[in-house]
Amino acid sequence: MIDIKLIRENVELVKDNILRKFQDEKLAIVDKIVKLDVMWRKEKKKVDDLRSERNKVSEDINRLMKEGNKGEAKSLIVKAKEIPEKIDKIGRKVEKMGDEIKGLMMKIPNIIEGSVPKGKDDKENVEIEVLGKPSVPSYEIFNHVELMEKMGLLDLDSARKTSGTGFYYLKGNLARLHSAVLLFAKDFMIEKGFEYIIPPFMIRSDVVEGVMSSEEMNSMMYKIEGEDLYLIGTSEHSVIGMFKDRTLRKGEVPQMLTSYSPCFRKERGAHGIEEKGLYRVHQFEKQEMVVICEPEESSKWYDKMLDFNVEFFKILEVPVRKLECCSGDLGDLKSKSCDIEAWSPRQKKYFEVGSCSNLTDAQARRLGIRINGGKGNYFAHTLNNTVVASPRVLIALIENNQNKDGSINIPKVLQPYIGGKKKIEMKN
């Protein structure tokens, strides 16, 4: 949510930002906010004036009573009794209009950083950098589903019976590899100075509304029937919510947190041949990094968090690229975002394995996360970045470490987490 002062003082900037995101239908919302805001401030002034009048009348009554002028004081007492009723009546109107304005403001996208490329959708995202050496071996790379099912390490059929499409059973060494990469991700981030967090896996609606747009909430989140609780789609939502309505001291920022959680999502996206198996699922596990910082520090942290992500995949020896999200592909609360994509030698292209985002003060403004700067309070900036999400990362590991016979080499850094095992091989 942006500051309403921007609409009051620079409405064209807000409208130009909406046009950059190709959300022309929201221009009318801005116009409606402008009109409502004028009316709201007019009515609020009436309330403020009535409160001042009430205070003045109270002072006059006290003065007249002291002077012994009870007759005149009595007439003012009658007047004083009428004022609270007027304040209450207009106050309810002001509150209702304020709620309507807030609801509309929640639909206005965050201001996009100037360097973000203009584009309508993810097809116009821009490649920034390729890291590692993507290659395609001379032998055939087996599809991860076919290979893992053949090895007896993946069971999608049983998962469909118990839970439906989009779920899975990981077994044996594949399950161990899944856990190994998450454990390594945790240790990697702790070594970078981040505090390890295991957050609640369910959050209330006011937290959901604080961290994401209503459109994202409806398309992603699973609601717990009969309760004001949602299963988290990513752990940063729960971690950011931990600071709801808090004012941090200067010495308490930056907050550098790395969180583990299972994640649950409704949407599944595309359904092509390469989207089957472990690409798009309803349930996965993730190690996340979250930073809450001073406004002037968020750009620096954005670059630093991306570097951490690239370093992580470099250690895993998985080639990746950085793909900057264009204006039309940015979520409404994001000011800038970059996807990390891993190389797929089978598909001969990259696929998304993580995303780094700077949300500036959009989430902090919704959740009331402030910093006490000594001369006053102001909203913090929040950022998040996927360290690793599994089982999708397993696809990158399976494909980039697959031998001609279908066996999978385990990266050296993961071997201590999987009992020293160096390779996943076909069972006899």
* C-alpha span between 262 and 287 (Å, rounded): 9
* In a domain? residue 115: no
Report the CATH number at residue 279: 3.30.930.10
Residue-wise pLDDT tens digits, 89-106: 999 999 999 999 999 999
Q: Do residue 183 and residue 266 come from a single domain?
A: yes
CATH number at 17 reads: 1.10.287.40
Q: Is residue 172 part of a domain?
A: yes
Residue 317 backbone dihedrals phi, psi, to 5 degrees? 60, 40
At 274 the pLDDT is 47
181: confidence class by pLDDT, cuts 50, 70, 90: very high
Q: 86 and 131 share a domain? A: no
Report the range of poorest mean pLDDT among 97-101, 163-167, 270-274: 270-274
Average of per-residue pLDDT values in the chain: 92
Query: Does residue 42 sit in the same domain as residue 139?
Result: no
Host domain of residue 99: 4-105
In this structure, are 101 and 131 located in the same domain? Answer: no
HSE-up (13 A, CA, CB side) for residue 389: 27
What is the average per-residue pLDDT within 20-26? 96
Q: Name the pLDDT band for 267 (thresholds 50, 70, 90).
A: low
Reported as a pLDDT band with limits 50, 70 and 90, residue 270 is very low
| Distance (Å, whole) CA 29 – CA 360 | 22
Task: Let me know if residue 111 belongs to a domain.
Answer: no
Tell whether 138 and 100 lie within a shared domain.
no
135 and 72, same domain (yes or no): no
Mean pLDDT of 48-56: 88
User: Which one-letter amino acid corresponds to residue 412?
Assistant: K
Q: Is position 387 within any domain? A: yes
User: Is residue 113 situated within a structural domain?
Assistant: no
Of the three residues 78, 105, 132, the one that is the final residue of a domain is: 105
Task: Give me 134's structure tokens.
Answer: 């993507």
Among the candidates 105, 132, 152, a domain finishes at 105
Instruction: Point out which residues pair with 424 in neighbouring strands.
Output: 408
pLDDT in tens, 314-373: 999 999 999 999 999 999 999 999 999 999 999 999 999 999 999 999 999 999 999 998
Evaluate whether residue 116 is within a structural domain. Answer: no
Q: Does 114 map to a domain?
A: no
- In this predicted structure, the answer to whether residue 269 has a pLDDT above a threshold of 80 is no
Residues 96 and 223 in one domain: no
- Residue 70 pLDDT greater than 80, yes or no: no
Confidence label for 46 from pLDDT (cuts 50, 70 and 90):
very high
Handedness of CA 390, 280, 346, 130 (dihedral sign): negative
Peptide bond connecting 199 to the previous residue in cis, omega within 30 degrees of 0? no
Residue 112 lies in a domain: no
**Does residue 34 share a domain with residue 177?**
no
Give the pLDDT confidence of 187-196 residue by residue, as tens digits.
Answer: 999 999 999 9
User: 232 with 339, same domain?
Assistant: yes
Confidence class of residue 84 from pLDDT cuts 50, 70 and 90? Answer: confident
> How many domains does the chain fold into?
2
Same domain assignment for residues 34 and 101: yes
Residues 264 and 340 in one domain: yes
Percent of the chain's residues with pLDDT above 70: 97
Same domain, 48 and 11: yes
Tokens standing for residue 426 = 């076909």
Given pLDDT bands bounded at 50, 70 and 90, which one contains residue 59?
confident
Query: How confident is the model at residue 180, as a pLDDT?
Result: 97
pLDDT at 256: 98
CB-based contacts of 98: which residues, under 8 Å, 6+ apart?
Answer: 40
List of residues 6+ apart from 252 with CB closer than 8 A:
none
Per-residue model confidence (pLDDT) at position 272: 44
Among 105, 133, 155, where does a domain finish? 105
Q: Does 128 have pLDDT greater than 90?
A: yes
Beta-carbon contacts of 322 under 8 Å, excluding residues fewer than 6 positions away, are 127, 128, 129, 131, 306, 310, 338, 339, 340
Torsion (CA) 48, 52, 55, 56 in degrees, nearest 10: -160
